[in-house]
Amino acid sequence: MGLFHKRTLDAYMKTKKTMKRLLSGIKKPPNTIIARNLIMHKAA
């Protein structure tokens, strides 16, 4: 349980970092479409 939880937490932190990077990328117009597609792809 502990190991699984740690792995889940690591993945969650990585996802948070990625989302932050995507969100900061969304502010730059050229990256908006790419970032939106990535988010949609992940959500799907």
> Which pLDDT score is estimated for 28?
62
pTM of the model: 0.40
Full residue range of the structural domain in which residue 29 is found: 1-43
Tens of pLDDT, residue by residue over 3-41, are 778 888 888 889 888 888 877 766 666 666 777 787 777
CB-CB contact of 38 with 22 (8 Å): yes
Per-residue pLDDT at 31: 61
Alpha-carbon torsion (5, 11, 16, 17), positive or negative: positive
The pLDDT of residue 6 is: 84
Burial of 8 (0-12, 13-18, 19+ CB in 10 A): exposed
Domains contained in the chain, number: 1
